[in-house]
Amino acid sequence: MPALSGCLGGLSGSSGPTVTMTDDLRFDPAEVTIESGETVTWENESGAPHTASAYEESLPEGAAYFGSGGYESEQAVRQSTSARGFLERGETYQYAFEVTGTYQYFCLPHEENGMIGTVIVE
């Protein structure tokens, strides 16, 4: 499987926080606040594969869908039968947030375990 290290969802942006995907099936920290234009990096430090996929209904008006794997919608993530977008230990996914607002996201295989996070863009 090709590594997603360095995969940028947005083409520009300044460095921002790193969110760790943990062995206890959570995002750490679960909530980050950034400035418009900053990039969030998700890094899997767990032995389990994880995703970072946006809840489409939570996207601020004018914001593009984001998620590891490059899917264009939440429905596409949920209907996929491939492991595209699953980050293995040591892999990262990055996304530059341009539109202000609150974004909620989830880990597809661990959503039912409460693996949900929030990015607030000011």
Report pLDDT digits (tens) over 7-64: 444 445 678 999 999 999 999 999 999 999 999 999 999 999 999 999 999 999 999 9
Contact by Cβ (8 Å): 79, 88? no
112 pLDDT above the threshold of 90: yes
Q: Where are the domains of the chain?
A: 7-121
Does domain 7-121 fall into CATH 2.60.40.420?
yes
Strand 14-21 to 38-44 pairing: parallel
Q: What does the alpha-carbon distance between residue 27 and residue 14 come to, in Å, rounded to a whole number?
A: 21
What predicted TM-score, i.e. pTM, was given to this entire model?
A: 0.88
